[in-house]
Chain A
Amino acid sequence: MKTLIRIYGVLAVLLLVGCASDQSAVYDYTKLKDENPLSILVLPPLNESLEVNASYSFLSQVTYPLAESGYYVFPVAMVSDLFKHNGLTEPGEIHAVPMEKLREIFAADAVVYLKITEYGTSYKVLSSDTRVTAQARLVSLKTGEELWQGSATASTAEQQGSNSDVFAMLLVAVIDQVVNTLSNKGHEVAGIASARLLHAGGPNRLLYGPRSPQQEP
C-alpha cells in the first residue's frame, strides 16, 4: 500500500509538471500584438532535407494549427497552383516574390516563410528515428517587419513520459483525427512538428489570433 501511495505521489507531481509551462525566455511580442494580423499567407517551405516531398507534406499540414489558433489561412493548394501557373514552381523562387506583389494579389496581413531542415528516417543500430525539424518566420505584409519566429522538432524517438511528451501525445491524438487515412510515417511526424511550430499557446510560441476565443485582449 505504501508503494502504491508513493506511485500516486510521483505520478501527481509528474502530471503537475506536465501542465505547468516554462515562463523563462519570453519572446518579445510587441510587434505581433500591435499588428494583430488576421489573414496569413503560407508559402511552400524551403527544403534542406533529402526528402523530395518534404515541402508539400509539411505545407499540407500548416492550415490546421494556424486556423485553430485564430488566423485565416489562404488555401495552400490553390495558392501553390497560382504560383505554378505563373511559372514559379520552386519554393526558393516563390520566397523571392516581392512583398508588394503578395500584398496586391492576396491582401494578406502577414506571410509565413518556412524552412525544413530535417525530414526523414535515420537508421541506427537499435532503432530507427523519423525526424522533422522546421523553422518559421511570420512577417508583416504591411511593414515588412518580422512579427514572430520559431522552430520545432518532432521525432519518433522521443522518450515516453517526459514533459513535452504529454503534450505530444495529445497532439498525436488530434493529428490522427486529421490525417487518419495516411500511413506515411514522415508525413505524420511532419504533422506533429507543424502543430508544435505553428499552434499558439505556450512559451515563445505564436499568440492566439483574432478569430480565436482564446485571444488575449
Chain B
Amino acid sequence: MIKPFFLLVMVTVALQGCVQKTATQYEWEGYQPSIYNYFVPSKHDTQAQIATLEKSIETAQAKGSRAAPGLHAHLALLYFNLGRDEEGVGHLVTEKQLFPEATEFVNFMLEKQGQFE
C-alpha cells in the first residue's frame, strides 16, 4: 500500500521539476471566456461577464499584479454595449495607463467611442 503512494509522490515531485513557473504574470479570470462569449451569441451574458472581469481586476489589485493585457479594454467594450459610456471610458484609460504601448489605439477608440452604442 505504501509503495504505490511513494511512486505517486515521486511522479508528482518529478513532474513539478518540469514546470518552470506555474504562477501567471497577469490576472486572467474570466477574460478569455468572455471573449468567446462575446463572439458566440448564444452565450452572451454581458452582466455576468462584467461582474467576473471586475472581480478579476480587484484580485489583481489585491495581489499587486495587473489584469491581463486587453482585459480593461474588453470590459470597456462591454460597458459601451450597455450604454454605460462613463465606465467604458474609464477602463479604456486604465488600459493605456497599464500598457502605454496601447495608447494610440486607445485614443483612436476613445474618439470612435460613439459607434459601440
Contacts and interface: CB of A to CB of B under 8 A. Distances in A.
Given A39-B102, A74-B70, A78-B73, A56 B25 contact: no
Contacts of A39: 101-102
A11 B70 contact: no
A105 B105 contact: yes
A21 B22 CA distance: 19
Given A56-B40, A77-B77, A179-B32, A8 B101 contact: no
A77 B102 contact: no
A107 B105 contact: yes
Contacts, number: 127
Q: Is the interface of A mostly helix, strand, loop or mixed?
A: helix
A107 B108 CA distance: 10
B47 interface: no
Contacts of B34: 77
Tier of interface size on chain B = 35 or more
Interface in B70-112: 70-71, 73-74, 76-77, 95, 99, 101-105, 108-109, 112
B63 interface: no
7 contacts: A15-B15, A60-B32, A67-B25, A68-B25, A75-B73, A82-B109, A201-B20
Interface of A: 4, 7-8, 11-12, 15, 18-19, 38-39, 53, 56-57, 59-61, 63-64, 67-68, 70-78, 80-82, 85, 105-109, 166-167, 170, 174, 177-179, 181-182, 187, 201, 211-214
Q: Is the interface of B mostly helix, strand, loop or mixed?
A: helix
B35 A212 contact: no
Nearest to B101: A39
Given A74-B105, A174-B22, 18 more contacts: A4-B3, A11-B11, A39-B102, A56-B39, A60-B38, A75-B70, A75-B73, A75-B77, A75-B95, A77-B39, A78-B74, A78-B76, A105-B108, A170-B15, A170-B19, A178-B28, A179-B32, A213-B25
